[in-house]
Amino acid sequence: MENRIEKIKKQLHSQSYKLTPQREATVRVLLEHEEDHLSAEDVYLLVKEKSPEIGLATVYRTLELLSELKVVDKINFGDGVSRYDLRKEGAEHFHHHLVCVECGSVKEIEEDLLGDVEKLIESQWEFKVKDHRLTFHGICKDCQSKQQDDK
């Protein structure tokens, strides 16, 4: 934890950005909710619990900055809100998501399943892949068994 903050601090300084208390507090919230997919508002409310002075605009600015630094990924699941997802340490690519259309739960998949597909894209379409977004929509394990019960 302190480790990763230290690292982010260096990334910031290397581009003459400052690690302000607000930014640190924001990063801490993201680290504490690594599994979640928080909206800017969510982050704002959580940061506010410990640092009540922070403004929503600062949270937006911080999230955008972290996005540039590839510390977080900005995603959109189709509701009108952007969500921010911390990248795993050293992860080259964005991870995948399983979105349940019944209950709305979102599960993360770390494995990179697209190695072969990317090779195909690069050779067949001559497109140099930098990153990807992959989301499956379907029915999660829990909701599948719930549907069984209904019958």
Partner DNA sequence: CTAAATGCAAAACGTTTGCATATAG
Partner DNA sequence: CTATATGCAAACGTTTTGCATTTAG
Q: Binding residues for DNA, per CB under 7 A?
A: 9, 12-13, 16-23, 39-41, 51, 53-58, 60-62, 64, 80-82
Cα–Cα distance measured from residue 77 to residue 96, given in angstroms and rounded to the nearest whole number: 12
**Nearer to a copy of itself among residue 32 and residue 102 (C-beta):** 102
Residue 10's binding partner out of a copy of itself, DNA, none, with CB under 5 to 8 Å set by partner kind: none
Alpha carbons 42 and 119: distance in angstroms, whole number? 37
| 112 is a site residue for a copy of itself (CB under 8 A) | no
Distance separating alpha carbons of residues 8 and 96, to the nearest angstrom: 23
Decide whether 55 or 138 has the Cβ nearer to DNA: 55
User: Which residue, 67 or 112, has its beta carbon nearer to DNA?
Assistant: 67
- CA 61-56-90 angle, 5° bins: 45
Q: Report if residue 7 touches a copy of itself, rule: CB under 8 A.
A: no
Using CA atoms, how far residue 29 sits from 36, 42, 44, 77, 147, in Å, is: 11, 10, 9, 21, 36
Q: Under the rule (CB under 8 A), what is the footprint of a copy of itself? A: 74, 76, 78, 98, 100-101, 107, 109, 113-114, 116-118, 120-121, 125-141, 144
